[in-house]
Structures are given as C-alpha cells and as structure tokens.
Amino acid sequence: MDLNQLWQLTLSEMEVQLSRANFATWLKNSQLIDRKEGVFFVALPNNFVKEWIENNYQKNILGVLRNFDVSAKKLEFIVTNQEPKTLAKKHLEVDFNKIDNQAGLDLARVDPDTNLNPRYTLDSFIVGSSNELAHAAALAIVQEVGTKYNPFFIYGGVGLGKTHLIQAIGNEIKIQYKGKYRPRYVSSEKFTSDVVWGIRNKRMEDMKKRYRDCDVLIIDDIQFIGGKEKTEEEFFHTFNTLYEGNKQIIISSDRPPQSIPTLEERLRSRFDGGLTADIGYPEYEMRVAIIKNRLQVANRQLSIQVIDLIANSIKRNVRELEGVLNKILFYQERKGIEVDKKTAEEIIEKSTQNFLGRISDDQILKAVADFYNVGIPDLVGRSRKKETVEPRQVAMYLLRDILRMSYPYIGEKLGRDHTTVIHSYEKINQEVNKNSPFNQKIIMIKESLHNKG
Ligand code: ADP
Ligand code: MG
C-alpha cells in the first residue's frame, strides 16, 4: 500500500475518534511523506500544529497507523509551509480519483473559489426517514435560492451527513445556475480564525468583504462560534448584511439553536426565524443502501451477509460505518480473498474496540461529573439529591454502552442494586433512540471522552 493510502486510512480512523473541530484543526492538512526503517515522516503546516500533535495525539496516531502497517515504530513530524496539494504532487504522484473511490478523505479536491468539495453531491446522498425533511429542504433551497427558506438551519449528531448535505446544496447551486450564484463554504473554525486574522492584521475590511461578497454562505458546525464574542459579533453583522440582501444562509450544528448555550439571544432568534431541520440516525435500510452505494462507486463486492453484518453493527454514525467498510475492503484487497462473516466480525470487533478501548470506567465517571458539574462522590454515593439523579443514570448508561460492563458490576460501582441499573439503562437508551435534545448531551459527553483519548 502506498503512503497516501495508508495515511487516508489512518486519518479516517482518527476522524472517527476525534471531534470534528479537533480533527479539522490538527490533522486535516497533514500528509505522510516518507517511511524509513520504521520511522514514518508526517508533514504538518506549522510549528504550532506540530507541537500540539506531539503532545496530544502522537501515541494515538501511531497506534492507529500500526493497525495498517506493523512496521511503524515511530513518528517524526516535519513542518512544511507548502500546501498539502503541492506536497502530494511532488512526492507522491497520488491518484486522487483512486483515493476518492476509497471513500476516504480527499483533502486536495476542494474548489478554492467556493471551498466546496465536489465529492458531496445530492445524487450521492442517500435518503431515508431520518433525513427526509432535511433533504427535501435542501432541494427546495436549490430551487428558491435566498428567498423562501432563509436561513436554513440543520442539526444532528456526529457523522450523520450534515456537512455532506450542506455542501451538496452549494455544489448543486453552482452547477444548476452556472455561476449566477456564488456559494462559499466555511467551517466555523475557519470563520473564527479569519476574524482573528482580520483583527490582528488590521484587515477587517478584507475579511468582511470576503464573506459578504457571496450569494450563498454555508457555515458548518456553528456551535463552535458560540461564546467567542468578536466572532459572534462579526458573524451577526455578516448574517444581517446577507439576509437583507436576500442571500441564502445555510448553517449546520450538532444541536438545535436553543441548545447552544453560549449563543447570543439575538443570533438565536434569527435562526429560529428560518427553516430548521434535523438529521437523525439512519435506519437499517438506509445503512444498507449507503454500503451498497459505496461498493458500487468503488466497484467492489461483499456478500449480503457481510453487508448485513456491517449495517447491524454500526447504527449511529455514517462516518464510522464507512470507516469499517473501508477496513473490510482493505483487508479483502490485501489478502486477495473474499471476507466471510466471521472475519468481518473480527474486523468490526477490533475497530470498535480501537474506538473506545482506551477509556476506563473512572474516565467515564469523571466526564459525566464534569459535564453536569457535580462531584464523583455524588455519582457513586448514596445521595438521593434530585440534581444527581440524571447524571447517575447517564453514568450507568455510558458504562454499559461504552464498556459493556455487566449490570451487577455497574451496580456495585455506583452503590445501587442491579435492577436499578437495568431500569436506568433502559430509560436513557430510550431517550437516546428518540434522538431527542437529550441525546445531544450524551453525544457531548462521548465527544469529551474521545478528545482525551
Ligand atoms: P457530519 O457533518 O454530520 O458529522 P458528514 O456529512 O461528514 O457528517 O458525513 C460523514 C460521512 O458519511 C461522509 O463521508 C458522508 O458522505 C457520509 N454520509 C452521511 N450521510 C450520508 C447519506 N445520507 N448518504 C450518503 N453518504 C452519507
Ligand atoms: Mg460535519
């Protein structure tokens, strides 16, 4: 396997492990450029990123890389000021179409004008009951750019297709209207860093112009803007200018506007004024359709038993579903034999273990305690205080959900008998499956765990 393929696989695994923001900030612009005697050389855009990765993710990345190439002993990070695209061309002769087929990340195909990745299309977006409304809204916006459904706010958990859908709207508008409308996609981290750049270099006017000078502004993961005063202020003004000029605004978030705690009221009420849609967990048929679609695009085959197994093992994250599928295909290619159900089971088992294997029960308790702002003794003690009921139930749920601990063991850990644990687990599980705002809390706690991993 060449370096680039190897890195794509490693990144797609890391993308599942880290939060979206962390992944985008630290790893998106990395490139594996060489390997010598077990040392793997990774190019990074600047020293800041290098230091951060060395301190936080080095071990993790090496561990993941080793799953794909056992010869990996050590990572060396090198700072290069070159764009990853030129780097890749120079050193690797990468066939980007090939990578695209692997459904991995395609860093270099982003359109510099719009910042959109052409891989995200409405055609390749599979529709089911969990995203029907969001998809219908997307189609409507393409027909009525800027007028009827403005702003469009889409929310849902990690890896459920938000970025795909909002970028697809941009791509579709660009193609259908042949340049009449200029879309621009931006992550909220990028928006924030542009504001910071504008302030620092006294170039706010340039920065403003850039964002107000488009017809469709697409902002991804708006929750990361919340609480950053200057950025929010700037976003608010940009928003108003565009809105008043009948420009289309499209926003995504991991939770509904009213649940972004630090978002200023005036901004929130603007979002409420437009069209809001959520994306939930994909149902079984949709998961199968996504797998089949990927296989078709990549011109690969898997038995119906294996497809069924994948679809039944990963239910709540399309990105993870794709990650597992990639691994199975990779294995099949390397061994040159058809993967049977048992082997697929092992691969899935291993990759879901990788995903959460480093997390301990105490880390889970701490994450829950931190999230709810209670002490660990409140969780494990006999306290019957009302404020601790929910955190304790959530802790029980997560111990079971993540670590597969037995009910009696969890009971012992939290000083409750096992029937209470079963009851709590089932109660929370029901909430989670309803995809209610409550579920967003669970997602946030899990994310905080991954960030530490
Ligand atoms: P989010 O932004 O919600 O975290 P993404 O849009 O990045 O999720 O989706 C994760 C991966 O799953 C992407 O590769 C995307 O193409 C794929 N995906 C998600 N939903 C669908 C869908 N309905 N049809 C096809 N692919 C999907
Ligand atoms: Mg996204």
Cα(159) to centroid(ligand 2), Å: 7
Q: Tokens in use for 192?
A: 């924030």
Nearest CA to ligand 1 atom 25: 125
Cα(225) to centroid(ligand 1), Å: 22
Cα(417) to centroid(ligand 1), Å: 41
Give residue for tokens 């939290």: 414
- Residue (of 154, 370, 170, 150) closest to 239 by Cα position: 150
Compute CA distances 179 → 183, 199, 376, 388, whole Å. Answer: 9, 31, 57, 56
Which range of 202-216, 250-264, 290-304 scores highest in mean pLDDT? It is 290-304
pLDDT tens across 368-391, in order?
998 888 899 889 887 778 888 999
For residues 202 and 164, give the distance between their C-alpha atoms in angstroms, rounded to a whole number: 34
Between 108 and 183, name the one with better pLDDT: 183
pLDDT tens across 45-71, in order?
777 778 778 888 898 899 889 888 889
pLDDT band at 84 (very low <50, low <70, confident <90, very high): very low
pLDDT of residue 191: 86
Share of the chain above pLDDT 70, in %: 89
Between 240 and 227, name the one with better pLDDT: 240
pLDDT of residue 103: 34
- Residue (of 171, 167, 151, 157) closest to 278 by Cα position: 157
Determine whether the shortest distance from the Cβ of 162 to ligand 1 is under 6 A: yes
pLDDT tens across 311-331, in order?
999 988 899 899 899 989 988
Strands (E), 167-324: 183-187, 216-220, 248-253, 275-279
Mean pLDDT, residues 9-27 taken together: 78
Determine whether the shortest distance from the Cβ of 161 to ligand 1 is under 6 A: yes
Nearest CA to ligand 1 atom 11: 319
pLDDT of residue 125: 96
Which among 318, 324, 450 is the best mutation to test ligand 1's pocket, defined by most ligand atoms within 8 Å of the CB? Answer: 318
- The answer, yes or no, to whether residue 202 has pLDDT greater than 60, is yes
pLDDT of residue 358: 65
Mean pLDDT, residues 102-113 taken together: 59
For residues 242 and 108, give the distance between their C-alpha atoms in angstroms, rounded to a whole number: 29
pLDDT tens across 233-251, in order?
888 888 999 999 999 999 9
Mean pLDDT, residues 18-26 taken together: 72
Compute CA distances 57 → 17, 22, 54, whole Å. Answer: 11, 10, 6
Cα(124) to centroid(ligand 1), Å: 10
DSSP H helical segments within 337-417, as ranges?
A: 341-356, 361-372, 376-380, 389-403, 407-414
